[in-house]
Amino acid sequence: MPTFVAMPAIETFGLEKTYTVGFWRKRPRCALRPLNLAVEEGEVFGYLGPNGAGKTTTLKLLMGLMFPTAGSAKILGREVNDPQVKAQIGFLPEQPYFYDYLTARELLEYYAQLSGVEARARSRRVAAVLERVGLRDVAGVQLRKFSKGMLQRVGIAQAILHDPKVVFLDEPMSGLDPIGRREVRDLIESLKQEGKTVFFSTHILSDAEALCDRVAVLHQGELRGIGVIADLTSSVRGKVEVIWQGGVIPPAMHALSAECHLIGAMARAVVGENQLDAAVDALRRANLKLVSVTPVRASLEDYFVEKLSPAEVAAR
Amino acid sequence: MTRVTSIASNTFREAVRDRVLYNLIAFALLMVAASLLVGQISMNIERNVVINLGLTAVSLFGLVIAIFIGIGLVSKEIEKKTLYTILSRPVRRWEFILGKFGGLVATLVVNTVFMAVGIFAAVFYLAHHFQRADAYLLVALYFIILQFVMITALALLFSSFSSPLLSAVFAFALFVIGTFAQDLRGFASLTHGVIGWIAIAAAYVVPNFAALNVISSVAHDQPVAASLVLYNTLYALLYSAAAVAGAMLIFERRNLK
Ligand SMILES: Nc1ncnc2c1ncn2[C@@H]1O[C@H](COP(=O)(O)OP(=O)(O)OP(=O)(O)O)[C@@H](O)[C@H]1O
Ligand SMILES: [Mg+2]
């Protein structure tokens, strides 16, 4: 009887990267502090962080494009540069650029050869993937005539072309219009249905909220949080929305909330959960009639704002 | 191996689509003009002049292509990040280097074959027949191709660690020095002591393009010794293999930032 040992699809062990910057006087710049991460097979994993957090750096290390300063990583239980691993992964780089003298079809045929797709299956596979990313009608056009969003689609096509088990996407939605973003969301969803592991970086939080089983939040090269989105956001101080009648905002309310304004004969303010009593008191003292109190669900954005810029929050 | 040939044929396709082979038009015009001109002045030097001019042009045109494409073979792919989607596939880094090298060599061979046809056509136009000595033209062309292989390998090696501009300067400088390799070895053997050893080592590291240049003797209908063909083949292959291996070693550890 075969036994299956659960093995993470992606695993990093103290993965670390320090760049040297400066031409004359070389200075180290730490882009990734020791990172320990495990992504299970079949998971859609969001890798979040503001600009310069180290997302692309991590992906380049995982793709074997750069070598870590320390630590190591495994994909599907093997060392990242193992050709057997490479045959089973797909990668969409950030702002992809391709050989612009080729047509979309030629490029994908070439990549299919390199990925070891059998000659017989090649053209069928290429046609199918072009259809899937909505480029069927421009398959014979040279890539130098493609728009940014079309190139992004080519990038996604080449990442899933060879039916990889693990797909790495560096900001897959960037450069796409709203319809394109919806399509990529649907595509990631369908990859999940097919049982693939998807690891994607983004700073568009709504995309992560809509798609991810789990997320990791990276900031200044450091892992700040990892887990199910609901768990992460529950650690954020809750907020409530207070609405009252009478077109005035008492000064005491202004002091409690940075976010208050008039809506016709009503007024609205968002305050911290722990300040709700004080807010209600303030209304009562001003003889204003409370209409409603609604908890505001904390979003990833709140999580970002609160956890990633403590200085800014403290200044409020 | 199929991956190496895929990369090579894509490199060839890039050269063709970037209109590299358009240099053939310039070459054809040159050959036509030369044939017509020397046909006017006549006498017995016309064959000599056309062969000399033709072979020199073949080697200069090819040299320019080898250097200018050679220095960008790897650096352009790094700079434009096209390498990211290649190396994230089951392609080993050395396979990439070998494929790029093979693709440019194939481009140069095809280019040279077309030019060779042009030279033979010009020779035939002037003499109205071929003679036995024309076979040595093929040897001269073969040696020119060997030079291209070496230059391509050197350009690739330089571009694996320095900027394209510097690589071009290095490769061109080595070509010029290599053309005087024989003299350099002569000078080196005159020096003594440590400096002598260094000079001799330097003289032998420099590619010996002098030995590969038989243009003027072929133009004068002198035969080329079979042993020279053998030595030159071995020399060029070993030298190029060493340079390409160096490029592979450097590229293997390179961080693609
Ligand atoms: N080639 C490089 N040389 C030196 N420093 C670099 C290099 N690439 C990135 N860095 C630095 O490493 C840090 C992380 O960069 P990285 O590109 O990984 O961020 P990111 O999370 O992908 O950001 P973004 O969302 O803007 O794409 C940044 O501080 C950046 O300045
Ligand atoms: Mg990035």
Identify the top-confidence range among A43-47, A308-312, B56-60, B192-196. A43-47
Q: Are strands A44-48 and A266-272 parallel, antiparallel or unpaired?
A: unpaired
Identify all chain B residues contacting A168, using CB atoms and an 8 Å cutoff. 88
Identify all chain B residues contacting A87, using CB atoms and an 8 Å cutoff. 89-90
- A213-239: b (≥16 Cβ within 10 Å) or e: ebbbbbbebebbbbeebeebbeebeeb
> Is A1 inside any structural domain?
no
Asked if A155 contacts A170 with a C-beta cutoff of 8 angstroms, the reply is no
Determine the distance separating the centroid of ligand 1 and the alpha carbon of B41, expressed in angstroms.
68
> In the structure, what pLDDT confidence band is assigned to residue B107 with cuts at 50, 70 and 90?
very high
Instruction: Indicate if the pLDDT at residue A39 is higher than 90.
Output: yes
* Span A279-297, average pLDDT: 86
> Is A184 inside any structural domain?
yes
Q: How many domains does chain B have?
A: 1
Instruction: Indicate if the pLDDT at residue A309 is higher than 70.
Output: no
- My answer on whether A76 and A164 are in the same domain is yes
* Span B24-33, average pLDDT: 80
* Span B242-249, average pLDDT: 96
Q: How many domains does chain A have?
A: 2
pLDDT digits (tens, 9 = 90+) for B169-191: 988 898 888 888 778 778 777 87
Domain that holds residue B18: 2-253
Cα A304 to Cα B98: distance, rounded to the nearest angstrom:
47
- My answer on whether A53 and A89 are in the same domain is yes
- My answer on whether A214 and A252 are in the same domain is no
- My answer on whether A91 and A42 are in the same domain is yes
Tell me, rounded to whole angstroms, the distance of Cα A128 from its chain centroid.
26
Tell me, rounded to whole angstroms, the distance of Cα A82 from its chain centroid.
26
pLDDT above 90 covers a percentage of chain B that reads 46
Q: Tally Cβ neighbours within 10 Å of residue A135.
A: 20
Cα B53 to Cα B203: distance, rounded to the nearest angstrom:
29
**Dihedral (CA of B110, B111, B112, B117) sign:** positive
pLDDT, residue A316, reads 39
Identify all chain A residues contacting B253, using CB atoms and an 8 Å cutoff. 67
Closest residue to B6, CB basis, from A60, A114, A168 = A114
A20 lines ligand 1 (CB under 6 A): no
Nearest residue CA, atom 29 of ligand 1? A52
CATH of the domain at A222: 3.40.50.300
> Is A44 inside any structural domain?
yes
* Span B6-18, average pLDDT: 94
Instruction: Indicate if the pLDDT at residue A3 is higher than 80.
Output: no
pLDDT, residue A312, reads 44
Residue A170, classed as helix, strand or coil, is: strand
pLDDT, residue A5, reads 59
A51 lines ligand 1 (CB under 6 A): yes
pLDDT, residue A264, reads 83
Q: Of the given ranges (A182-191, A293-302, B13-22, B169-178), which has the lowest mean pLDDT?
A: A293-302
CA dist list (Å): A44 to A197, A208, B135:
6, 9, 67
pLDDT, residue B44, reads 67
- My answer on whether A197 and A94 are in the same domain is yes
CATH of the domain at A258: 3.30.70.2750
Instruction: Indicate if the pLDDT at residue B84 is higher than 90.
Output: yes
Closest residue to B90, CB basis, from A86, A97, A98 = A86
- My answer on whether A195 and A275 are in the same domain is no
Q: Residues near A143 by Cβ (< 8 Å), separated by ≥ 6?
A: A98, A99, A100, A101, A102, A103, A104, A107, A151, A154
Q: From A217, A232, A247, give the residue that closes a domain.
A: A232
- Whether residues A111 and B82 touch (CB distance < 8 A) is answered with no
First to last CA, chain A: 62
Domain that holds residue A254: 236-297
A202 lines ligand 1 (CB under 6 A): no
Instruction: Indicate if the pLDDT at residue B25 is higher than 90.
Output: no
Instruction: Please indicate whether residue B105 or residue B23 has the higher confidence score (pLDDT).
Output: B105
Cα B57 to Cα A239: distance, rounded to the nearest angstrom:
79
User: Hey, which of A57, A63, A202, A304 would you mutate to test ligand 1's pocket, going by the most ligand atoms within 8 Å of its Cβ?
Assistant: A57
Residue B76, classed as helix, strand or coil, is: helix
- My answer on whether A73 and A195 are in the same domain is yes
Reported as half-sphere exposure (CB side, CA atoms, 13 A), residue B239 has a value of 24
Token pair 């490769």: residue: B171
Q: From A214, A232, A250, give the residue that closes a domain.
A: A232
pLDDT digits (tens, 9 = 90+) for A125-176: 999 999 999 999 999 999 999 999 999 999 999 999 999 999 999 999 988 8
* Span B213-242, average pLDDT: 88
Instruction: Indicate if the pLDDT at residue B146 is higher than 80.
Output: yes
> Is A225 inside any structural domain?
yes
Determine the distance separating the centroid of ligand 1 and the alpha carbon of A24, expressed in angstroms.
20
> Is A164 inside any structural domain?
yes
Q: Are strands A44-48 and A70-75 parallel, antiparallel or unpaired?
A: unpaired
pLDDT, residue A313, reads 41
pLDDT, residue A314, reads 43
DSSP for B166-225, please give it.
Answer: HHHHHHHHHHHHHHTHHHHHHHHHH--HHHHHHHHHHHHHS---STT--HHHHHTT----
- What is the position in ligand 1's atom list of the atom closest to the CA of A57? 18
- My answer on whether A146 and A264 are in the same domain is no
Cα B59 to Cα B54: distance, rounded to the nearest angstrom:
9
DSSP state of A298: P
Residue A254, classed as helix, strand or coil, is: helix
- B163-183: b (≥16 Cβ within 10 Å) or e: ebeebbebbbebbebbbbbee
Query: Does the CB of A97 have a partner CB in chain B at under 8 Å?
Result: yes
pLDDT, residue B77, reads 92
> Is A135 inside any structural domain?
yes
Q: Which residues pair with A143 in a beta bridge?
A: none
pLDDT digits (tens, 9 = 90+) for A42-91: 999 999 988 899 999 999 999 999 999 999 999 999 999 999 999 999 99
- My answer on whether A285 and A263 are in the same domain is yes
> Is A176 inside any structural domain?
yes
- My answer on whether A273 and A198 are in the same domain is no
* Span B63-89, average pLDDT: 93
Q: Tally Cβ neighbours within 10 Å of residue A168.
A: 26
Q: What is the dihedral of CA B216, B221, B224, B225, to 10 degrees?
A: -130
- Whether residues A66 and B257 touch (CB distance < 8 A) is answered with yes
> In the structure, what pLDDT confidence band is assigned to residue A197 with cuts at 50, 70 and 90?
very high
pLDDT, residue B43, reads 59
Instruction: Indicate if the pLDDT at residue B82 is higher than 60.
Output: yes
* Chain B, nearest residue to A56 by Cα: B257
Q: Residues near A202 by Cβ (< 8 Å), separated by ≥ 6?
A: A46, A47, A48, A171, A172, A173, A208
* Span A201-228, average pLDDT: 89
- My answer on whether A258 and A228 are in the same domain is no
DSSP state of A204: -
Minimal Cα–Cα distance from B6 to chain A, Å?
A: 7
- My answer on whether A27 and A176 are in the same domain is yes
Q: Residues near A75 by Cβ (< 8 Å), separated by ≥ 6?
A: A9, A10, A11, A62, A85, A89, A166
Q: Tally Cβ neighbours within 10 Å of residue A115.
A: 24
pLDDT above 90 covers a percentage of chain A that reads 58
- Whether residues B86 and A93 touch (CB distance < 8 A) is answered with no
Cα B168 to Cα B70: distance, rounded to the nearest angstrom:
9
* Span B205-217, average pLDDT: 84
pLDDT, residue A175, reads 84
Reported as half-sphere exposure (CB side, CA atoms, 13 A), residue B137 has a value of 29
Instruction: Please indicate whether residue B196 or residue B102 has the higher confidence score (pLDDT).
Output: B102
Q: Return the biggest CA–CA distance within chain B.
A: 63
CA dist list (Å): A170 to A27, A48, A91, A151:
27, 11, 8, 14
φ and ψ of A77, to 5 deg: 80, 0
> In the structure, what pLDDT confidence band is assigned to residue B39 with cuts at 50, 70 and 90?
low
Instruction: Indicate if the pLDDT at residue A315 is higher than 60.
Output: no
Question: Mean pLDDT in chain B?
Answer: 88
- Whether residues B90 and A115 touch (CB distance < 8 A) is answered with yes
* Span A193-208, average pLDDT: 90
> Is A146 inside any structural domain?
yes
Question: Mean pLDDT in chain A?
Answer: 88
- A265-296: b (≥16 Cβ within 10 Å) or e: eebbbbbeeebbeebeebbeeeebeeeeeeee
Tell me, rounded to whole angstroms, the distance of Cα B148 from its chain centroid.
1
Instruction: Indicate if the pLDDT at residue A235 is higher than 80.
Output: no
pLDDT, residue A262, reads 85
